[in-house]
A and B are shown apart, each in its own frame.
Chain A
Amino acid sequence: MKQYPTSTEVDFVVIGSGAAGGIMAKQLSIAGFSVVVLEQGGWGKYGREHEYNKDEWLARNVSEEDRLMSDPSRQRNTFRRNDKEKATRGNHSYGCVVGGGTVTYGGSSWRHMPWEFREATYDPTIPSGTGMADWPITYEELEPYYTQAEWEMGMSGLRVDSPFVAPMTKDYPVPPVPLKSSGALFNTAAVKLGLTVVPGPLAIITKPYLGRSACVNCGICSGYGCQVRARSSSAVTMLPLAEKTGRCEIRVRSYVREISVDNIGRVTGVIYFNAQKQEVRQRAKAVVLSANGSESARLLLLSKSARFPDGLANSSGVVGKYLMVGNGASASALFEHPLNEYKGVISGAGIVDYVGSDPKRGFYGGGRLTARGYLTPLDLGLDGLSPDAPRWGAGYKKALREEANHRMTINCFVTQMPLETNRVDLDPDVKDEWGLPAMRITSTSHPDDFKNMEFFRKKSIEILEAAGAKKVWAPPINDTRGGAHNRGTCRMGNDPKTSVVDRYHKAHDVPNLFIVDGSSFVTGGRNHPTMTIQALAFRAADHLIQNAKKGAIRSSV
């Protein structure tokens, strides 16, 4: 791999190597620019993915070296419901390895609906006083980049003509994953209830594609690295191409603590801690910040300077605000015959009829119901039986025998409105392992979000019953406190007073800083963010490359 001396001023430093960072690094280096990618995690099994194991016990006791997710005991974070509470230790965690969250995610790759970019204008169900706003871009502008992402990364799915699915100009490159029994039961319910089932679009290839082999339906999927390289992560799609240009260096265990600026307010590079926790400065003509929907905001807030006393790119005061962490609802059921849901991908089919908001429901909200049943042996044994099953003894064993493979679960992915009060900032007391102020999350969903979650919980029960379930249960709803779907903290907009980045992801306040990841989201979609992050990244890269070639990115020296 190309290695740059830290004294060299490279064209771009890209912070983060996940869904957005991987694409930015690949596009920029192929376009001829010198790129250093700084990834706070390790290599994982990058380039030797066959070494990923499917050992549930090891996965629960993973060494620091082999971790694929951040460690809340090192990347410390705190949580509070509202400003009146004192924040306590949180469990917020996200992908933290070369390839980021795409290395381990379930792979759901739903596009946003066209109207999701301009809901705030026309949807009468949106209550007042929220941060709902229109995006400064349209679906039509983004559509070619969705297609590009689907074909360059390798997404499987079925192009369908439905008012509940975003229209596509091109088919998926490979067919959808095979129907699972949970999907077949969705079909049964959908016929009875008049609903629409579609196979989930997934970042998992079902046929050999671009030199990678097809999914073997191993069943130990989400949360684990893919041994056969069928999951289309940044680590097996984008980063190898970036590396091959000879212009891109990926530096692991590089924990950025500051994006530095000069006295005219241009970014000059970054300061990061290397694996030995020594400070290293890397100079760059421009910085692409793709650290994820929560860490990108935190890094800006950490990057205080005389010129930017409230944090970099934060003249609006909006950095960190409008955080959306992702809401859901679920229900589970037992059926007479075996489903064997542990085989195959985690998220097979979706019911999509409730993706939009409906004034008849009396609140704002929408979402998708996805068919799952994914319980690996340890998950099943520890806490996976129906709620009234015995926890030990002869009855426990009987329940294990009877319930295993007879269960399916519906997981709903639903709206969460952006609220100014929900945010990421710096904890005044707690420090992370590097001695930096820990991330503090303040979040309580809007009352309509709770009503919407309850709506989806009840729908899930109705669908399972219509599918012929013998027994149905659904845990009480609650909103989320963190996790990999974090979005919205550096929102995109045309007005520098109310947004952090412009329609091409350039920071309003800083001409050579580009923030590209879930933090750019204005509204949250239906809590399936990755496909849109990827499309945004391809679009941002296109525009950035055009301008950089015209000389917009220049040395600060």
Chain B
Amino acid sequence: MGTKRRSRRSFLIDSAMGLNAAWVAANYPGILAAQQFVRTATRKGELPRLAVFTDAQAAEVEAITAQIIPADETPGAREAHCVYFIDRALTTFLKNSQPAYIQGLQDLQAKTRQLYPDADKFSALTPEQQIKILTEIEKTPFFNMVRTHTVIGFFARPEHGGNYEKIGWKLIGYDDSLNHKPPFGYYDAQPQPGHLVVKE
């Protein structure tokens, strides 16, 4: 895959300087989210770099992940940096999936143009349009692959690049302290019938 090693920040700066004003307008919500991400990443001194995806490819993959686990009152896959997890994994454990991503993104673009001739990119569509396209392709190997990788990025340990600030774990109430004391849940905290047969 064309390895265009540019940071997400330089990508955003290009956009913000009007190099592609129409694209910026269409992607404003996504850019806001990405900027938020960059701000946070910068604050933490760890600006992720894309290793495999071009910026344009990353924007498309990120848009898919953001529909697989959308933000509502809580953050979703975009905010959890799932695309960075996928990008990083494509250099290591998922290296064999690189061609599938290239082909899948090309097919996605074709599908996008077929259904929305005025649109150029999946990520430029409205959420409703994106959901319509993904619903049409939800049985394809490509979608299932991205779905799997998004979920892994959302729930795997944060050091793999996703699950940013434990967003995934917070959603499901998972405490990763690896050290727990009873009572563990609601039911074992209740008085027990004490009918266990105990040898005196």
Contact = CB atoms under 8 A, between A and B. Distances in A.
Interface residues of B, number: 47
Contacts of A309: none
A197 B195 contact: yes
Nearest to A159: B199
Interface stretch (B3-11, B33-41, B102-110, B173-181): B173-181
A160 B68 contact: no
Contacts of A475: none
Interface in B173-200: 173-175, 178-188, 190, 192-193, 195-199
Contacts of B186: 181, 337-339
A343 B180 contact: yes
Interface string A331-353: 00001011111111000000000
B69, B174, B190: most-surrounded residue (chain A CB, <10 A): B174
Given A56-B155, A337-B187, A341-B185, A397 B178 contact: no
Interface in B58-75: 67-70, 72, 74
B145 to A, nearest CB: 12
A217 B181 contact: yes
B47 interface: no
Interface stretch (B13-21, B114-122, B146-154): B146-154
A397 B198 contact: no
Contacts of A1: none
A3 B199 CA distance: 48
B69 A397 contact: yes
A401 B171 contact: yes
Given A160-B197, A343-B185, 4 more contacts: A178-B184, A179-B182, A377-B155, A377-B174
B184 A180 contact: yes
Contacts of A337: 185-187
A181 B195 contact: no
Nearest to B162: A57
A397 B80 CA distance: 13
A257 interface: no
Given A216-B180, A394-B70, A404 B188 contact: no
Main secondary structure, interface of A, reads loop
A219 interface: yes
B160 interface: yes
Nearest to B151: A381
9 contacts: A57-B157, A159-B199, A178-B182, A183-B188, A185-B187, A196-B197, A339-B185, A342-B174, A392-B138
A191 B193 contact: yes
A393 B198 contact: no
Contact of A404 (B157, B173, B193): B173
A219 B174 CA distance: 11
B192 A179 contact: yes
Contacts of B179: 216-218
B147 A57 contact: no
Nearest to A177: B182
Nearest to B65: A392
Give the 8 A-B CB pairs with smallest separation, nearest first: A337-B186, A181-B185, A404-B172, A57-B156, A181-B187, A218-B178, A184-B187, A377-B155
A162 B196 CA distance: 10
Given A161-B197, A344-B184, A397-B70, A378 B155 contact: yes
Main secondary structure, interface of B, reads loop
A377 B168 contact: yes
Contact of A217 (B69, B152, B172, B180): B180
B196 A158 contact: yes
Given A158-B196, A381-B155, A181 B188 contact: yes
B188 A400 contact: no
Contacts of A335: 187
Interface residues of A, number: 58
A180 B188 contact: yes
Contacts of B74: 401
A397 B75 CA distance: 10
A162 B67 CA distance: 54
B157 A55 contact: yes
B69 A392 contact: yes
A382 interface: yes
A44 B151 CA distance: 29
Interface in A214-239: 216-220, 227
A184, A342, A378: most-surrounded residue (chain B CB, <10 A): A184
Contacts of A338: 173, 185-186
Contacts of A55: 156-157
B188 A184 contact: yes
A160 B197 CA distance: 6
Interface string A435-473: 000000000000000000000000000000000000000
A396 interface: yes
Interface in A141-193: 158-162, 171, 178-185, 187-188, 190-191
A191 B193 CA distance: 8
A160 B168 CA distance: 42
A406 to B, nearest CB: 9
A159 B197 CA distance: 9
A340 B181 CA distance: 12
A392 B148 CA distance: 10
A377 B173 contact: no
Contacts of A158: 196, 198
B69 to A, nearest CB: 6
Contacts of B125: none
Contacts of A54: 178
B192 to A, nearest CB: 6
A29 to B, nearest CB: 35
A198 interface: yes
Contact of B168 (A61, A191, A227, A381): A381
A443 B36 CA distance: 57
B51 interface: no
A78 interface: no
Nearest to B85: A57
A378 B156 contact: yes
Given A217-B179, A393-B70, A161 B199 contact: yes
Contacts of A187: 192-193, 195
B160 to A, nearest CB: 5
A513 to B, nearest CB: 41
A160 B188 contact: no
Contacts of A190: 193, 195
B134 interface: yes
A411 B186 CA distance: 21
A393 B192 contact: no
